[in-house]
Amino acid sequence: MSETPFIILTCPACQVKNRVRSYDAEKIPVCARCRAPLLKPEENEVHAKYGRSLKNFFNLPGIGLRSDRDE
């Protein structure tokens, strides 16, 4: 079962830690407790781009560069 990546953002108003799973430049995430915006619009756009890049590279096949052996 693959889980979507998430980021933990601390609310600037009430200091509650919030798990944000999806990033959308059109929608700014809000705190689950006090409903205050968690990010500024510019920061949200950066997080949205990061989320899209993770989706693009999340399921790439391995090419054998990493070894499970302890050397």
Q: What was the pLDDT predicted at 45?
A: 78
Burial (0-12, 13-18, 19+ Cβ within 10 Å), 44 = buried
Distance CA 61, CA 45 (A): 28
Q: Are 23 and 51 in contact (CB under 8 A)?
A: yes
55-60 long-range contacts (CB < 8 A, ≥24 apart) are: 58/2, 58/5
Q: What was the pLDDT predicted at 52?
A: 72
- Across-strand partners of 17? 10
Domain segments of the chain: what residues? 7-56
Give the residues of the chain that fall short of pLDDT 70.
1-5, 23-25, 51, 55, 58-71
- The overall pTM is greater than 0.85: no
pLDDT digits (tens, 9 = 90+) for 19-34: 987 766 678 889 999 9
Closest CA to 50 of 28, 25, 30: 25
